[in-house]
Amino acid sequence: MATDNTATVESPQQRYVVPKVHGAPICPIFGRILVLTVTLVVCAFVAMTWYCEGIMWIYDPTTNSWPIYDCPSLAESFKIQNREFSGRTCRMAIAYNYETAYNMQKAGITVPYGTKPEDALERCILPHESEDDIMCYSVNQCTYMCRTADTNENCPYPGTINKDTTEIADNEQCNIYVASQTFSQTVDCYKVEVGPFCGRQFKVTPSNILVMRGIIVATVFMIVFWFISEFGLRATEKGLKQ
């Protein structure tokens, strides 16, 4: 009986082709980032412009300067312990005193009540009520408007002074200067408060600018974080599909 020696040929094993995995489309990602960027920028711009009643926080035509950049300087922004930021202009509030008001009127450095600050430069506005302060405005920095009488230093903040209201009061004295230092008088330091501003409309202070810089930095951080998150999620999704 013949034996069949024909070798049995096994059929080749079937191979499976793994399709190439693609990540999510990039265009929708950039679309979402663009929408987020426009929304955050517009909201921040409107909020800061509304607060300052104009775009003086960006550019001040009265001083031809860019407060958002140089009021205060960028170096001062990182001085955490610095509480006295310098500004281009200064406003000085003086507790009403008949003698002071009379001397100012006599020197011709007062303007009518209700005058706008930008129209009262190097002048003082007497209050309508004696309980209010005398407001003086200068195109110079605050260091030229008020100095301590004994040490010739910048006037201290009234809230940090221990005032003496007794009959023999011995309070620290400060020299105030108005009208480009053509008028001066000595008063109790706790009755004077100076505040720096970034322009001659006296609407934006260095502290305001610091807050706005913080808002800008936070906005940029959110956009960058969102950008990284979008592409991170895209890479994760692609890995899970593989």
- Per-residue pLDDT at 13: 60
**Is the pTM value of this prediction over 0.85?**
no
Q: How many CA atoms lie within 13 A of 152 on its CB side?
A: 0
Strands 173-178 and 133-138: unpaired
- Per-residue pLDDT at 209: 92
Q: At residue 5, does pLDDT exceed 60?
A: no
Q: Using CA atoms, how far apart are residues 168 and 240, in angstroms rounded to an integer?
A: 83
Give the residue-averaged pLDDT of 8-36.
71
- Average pLDDT of the chain, as a whole number: 84
Q: Where are the domains of the chain?
A: 26-77+204-241, 89-159+170-197
Q: At residue 117, does pLDDT exceed 60?
A: yes
Give the residue-averaged pLDDT of 212-227.
93
- Per-residue pLDDT at 161: 82
- Per-residue pLDDT at 196: 93
The tokens of 148 are what?
């301590």
The helix-helix angle for 206-241 and 26-52 (nearest 10°) equals 170
- Per-residue pLDDT at 7: 52
Q: Using CA atoms, how far apart are residues 56 and 199, in angstroms rounded to an integer?
A: 8
Task: Please say whether the beta carbons of 104 and 134 come within 8 A.
Answer: yes
The tokens of 65 are what?
């300067």
- Per-residue pLDDT at 17: 59
Q: At residue 83, does pLDDT exceed 70?
A: no
Instruction: Indicate the pLDDT class of residue 120, thresholds 50, 70 and 90.
Output: very high
Secondary structure, 3-state, 3-67? CCCCCCCCCCCCCCCCCCCCCCCHHHHHHHHHHHHHHHHHHHHHHHHHHHCCCCCCCECCCCECH
**pLDDT digits over 183-217, tens only?**
999 999 999 999 999 989 899 999 899 999 999 99
Q: At residue 84, does pLDDT exceed 90?
A: no
* Residue 164, phi-psi category: left (phi > 0), alpha (psi -120 to 50), beta (remainder): beta
Task: Please say whether the beta carbons of 125 and 110 come within 8 A.
Answer: yes
- Per-residue pLDDT at 24: 66
- Per-residue pLDDT at 8: 55
137 three-state secondary structure:
strand
- Per-residue pLDDT at 168: 64
Q: At residue 52, does pLDDT exceed 90?
A: no
